Copies of this chain bind each other. A is one copy, B any other.
Amino acid sequence: MTRKTVLIVDDEPAIRDMLKVALEMANFDCIEAKNAHEAQIAVTDNRPDLVLLDWMMPDVTGIELLRRWRRNEDTQYLPVIMLTAKAEEENAIRGLDVGADDYISKPFSPRELASRIKALIRRSTPIVSEELLIAGELILDPVGRLASVKGQNVSLGPTEYKMLEFFMMHPNRAYTREQLLNNVWGANVYIDERTIDVHIRRLRKALSIDGYENIIQTVRGFGYRFSEEALIKSTD
């Protein structure tokens, strides 16, 4: 089972540590951010499965951050749990309806936290990943864990599969090698960036039916992009 990554956004180190300990005991990977800026970077680079967001922060309030995420297509459905100082605050924030998926007031018990997180992740992940990912006649079925081109199954190693899945969930966007590392391999891996070239090579090779290898384009000096447009050109 894939381990889920949780991003903790809070300016108090004590709180962060507390949460981190609780979450790691519950078998989650943790990333931390102490302000809105770091949080934004962590979200785009590491794509956590869930965010614990303190609502009171020195620079931007958590609410503003959350609003921004909700407007962005990529982070629109990112599960977010708001951390509030007191229960009264919770009600006030609920009233604002900023789009958080759940609220927890400090002080919180680690057990409750873990179970709410689990419930939220369980609820949110399958909805996204049960759908077929499609680009022309390239189809990836996340449920069956199968990819096919023109009805013909392609055999992919676990890494190639994950990479293709990531690309197909975010088509037409260029990613740097570092971003790919974060998203496909996960946070905190130290792997040579050239290695990605090799995996790209392997993925292209596997997809090379009727020109489908061109669907992964190289963006010179930057990284790679999964481009549906590439299909239209060669097919049409």
Contact = CB atoms under 8 A, between A and B. Distances in A.
A178 B2 CA distance: 11
Count copies of this chain in the complex.
2
Among A137, A144, A173, residue most surrounded by chain B Cβ atoms (within 10 Å):
A144
A174 B165 CA distance: 15
9 contacts: A73-B91, A97-B127, A102-B131, A103-B131, A115-B151, A144-B225, A145-B219, A146-B174, A157-B221
Contacts of A229: 153
Interface size classification for chain A: 35 or more
B123 A144 contact: yes
A112 B134 CA distance: 9
A18 interface: no
A40 interface: no
A149 B92 CA distance: 28
A57 interface: no
A179 B153 CA distance: 24
Nearest to A175: B145
Interface in A115-167: 115-116, 118-120, 122-123, 127, 130-132, 134, 136-137, 139, 141, 143-146, 148, 150-151, 153, 157-158
Given A111-B137, A157-B221, 7 more contacts: A101-B131, A102-B131, A115-B151, A143-B173, A144-B173, A145-B219, A158-B222
A178 B1 contact: yes
Nearest to A81: B132
